Amino acid sequence: MKKVLPIVHVLGLVTMLFSLTMLAPLMVSWGLKDGAVSAYDESVAVTFISGLIAWAGTNRFKRELKIRDGFLLVVLIWSSLAAFATIPLLVQIPDLSFTDAYFETVSGLTTTGATVLSDLDKLPPSINFWRTELVWLGGMGLIVLAVAVLPLLGIGGRQLYKAETPGPMKDSQLTPRITETAKGLWLVYAAITLACILSLRAAGMTWLDAVMHAFSTMGLGGFSSHDASFGYFNSPSIEAVTIVFMLIAGINFATHFMVWRGKSFAPYRRDPEAGLFLGVTLTSVLGIALYLWQMGVYPDFLTALRFASFNTVSIATTTGFATTDFNQWPIFAPLWMLFLSSFASSSGSTGGGIKMIRAQLLYKQVYREMKKLLHPDGVVLTKLGGQVIPNKIIYAVLAFLFIYVASIVSMTLVLTASGLDVISSFSAVVACINNTGPGLNQVGPATTFAVLTDFQTWVCTFAMLLGRLELFTLLIVFTPAFWRK
């Protein structure tokens, strides 16, 4: 028990910091007089006092965190902060159960964007603001934010950063100091978000809608303040702006950081993922547009291109916005979009799935094995971006893929056994573990996850956390070896 107390100490500090994030929706509620001010008063007080008790009560146990401490702390932060985030929803929406509220906040923090709520247009604006703020915070990762702040308070965060950073190459650093790296990433993230807000406002959104949808866009989360999502605006210019920023958010933010620091676009050319991500996504847009046009879904190619481009980019980048019920398209198109969501976005982006870099490494490993069959005594190396990839990274990627597929199969079987149809089960699991948002059939873009039973909701909640924490970070704390001395 004593070895957990230093982790609880840091968790308490992060919880106190998290309570401050509730001040933004409080100000929105106060400014718009939407009647939800008391919900945030209670939330800030309960969250801050809980964190203070945990932090002060374990003060004498504080120490520098070790590797396994980092994994446990990441899991505790994501699961516990989502619980505190439910308070405004539970206070303001009386009929909402804790299961559904927890699903909603986990969906926000993991940038999944799947929702159990309906009548979004009738909710107090500050509640929708809180939902989209969760997406924005989760986008770059609360942990990276904590890494930038905690060292200032005498608590190192390198192990947190390694456990949280997405992608297979966690040891790469942008600056010598991890704190400077985290600050740089957040600065770039905030600057691009500001550009997104201004662009959406110029395209015709109100200021409040522009802020909320920019939060969701940059977090690649997909929460909207309208039941019809982007279909509510029915604006090609707003859709065009959002497509551009979804694509930007789907590229590694470390690459954006290097572009900003070096004042040169050269890092985009050197990024082995960025070009392929854009190429695969835009080629898929054209292919799906042609398919929908040929199938007679839309009367002309330009209309098909408009709907295919927004919805395909949205799902491929794991955002989850929609301008139409693509569940009604011929099944090939939405299945291809779900397939894209599994690998298209870059590592270090705010997207989900296995990431483009792992897909590239898997392809190169398959090619390597075939060359070794032809030349058994030859030395065949796997290279990416001109660098030789060590075998330990290849093995890690293969293990990741096995767990990823096994998780999808096992959770699909569990949902199917619990009474959900196969298409809904499979698409719900894929949409949740990839942090995409809408699935197909009963959990399609025109419906919500409210149709699920409590058990099915908890399965999908676990899938969202599993995907956001890159599988191993969550699963490792359930192994006996993790708790062994």
Compute mean pLDDT per 10 residues along the chain, 485 residues long, and list them: 84 94 95 91 94 92 81 90 96 93 95 91 94 92 65 57 57 63 86 97 96 95 91 95 96 89 89 92 96 95 96 94 92 92 89 88 89 85 81 88 95 96 94 90 88 96 92 88 80
Instruction: For residue 6, give the amino acid letter.
Output: P
How far is it, in rounded angstroms, from Cα 169 to Cα 251? 15
pLDDT value of residue 149: 59
In terms of Cβ atoms closer than 10 Å to its own Cβ (0-12, 13-18, 19+), residue 77 is: buried
pLDDT value of residue 152: 56
Inter-axis angle of helices 207-218 and 178-203, to 10 degrees? 140
The reply, when asked if residue 220 is annotated as ligand binding, is yes
How far is it, in rounded angstroms, from Cα 375 to Cα 369? 10
How far is it, in rounded angstroms, from Cα 434 to Cα 371? 32
pLDDT value of residue 143: 62
Residues 6+ apart with CB under 8 A from 340: 280, 281, 284, 312, 315, 316
pLDDT value of residue 139: 87
The reply, when asked if residue 112 is annotated as ligand binding, is yes
Tell me the two tokens of residue 273.
Answer: 């993922």
Residues 6+ apart with CB under 8 A from 418: 453, 455, 456, 459
Instruction: For residue 94, give the amino acid letter.
Output: P
pLDDT value of residue 118: 87
Residue-wise burial string across 242-267, b where 16 or more C-beta atoms lie within 10 A, e elsewhere: bbebbbbbbbbbbbbbbbbeeeeeeb
For residue 430, the Cα-to-chain-centroid distance in whole angstroms is 13
pLDDT value of residue 222: 87
The label of the residue with tokens 């969550």 reads 474
How far is it, in rounded angstroms, from Cα 428 to Cα 461? 11
Residues 6+ apart with CB under 8 A from 88: 22, 25, 36, 39, 40, 43, 126, 127, 130
The reply, when asked if residue 111 is annotated as ligand binding, is yes
Tell me the two tokens of residue 252.
Answer: 């590694």
For 387, phi and psi rounded to 5 degrees?
-110, 140
- What are the Cα distances from residue 249, in Å, to 140, 169, 343? 10, 19, 15
Give kind and range of the element (H or E) at residue 237. helix 236-249
Inter-axis angle of helices 37-57 and 23-32, to 10 degrees? 160
The reply, when asked if residue 221 is annotated as ligand binding, is yes
Percentages helix, strand, coil for the chain (3-state, rounded to 5) are 70, 0, 30
**Cβ neighbour number for residue 183 with a 10 Å cutoff:** 17
How far is it, in rounded angstroms, from Cα 185 to Cα 260? 10
In 122-235, which residue ranges form alpha helices assigned H by DSSP? Answer: 125-140, 142-149, 158-164, 178-203, 207-218
Name the residue among 155, 162, 136 with its Cα closest to residue 220. 136
The reply, when asked if residue 179 is annotated as ligand binding, is no
pLDDT value of residue 182: 80
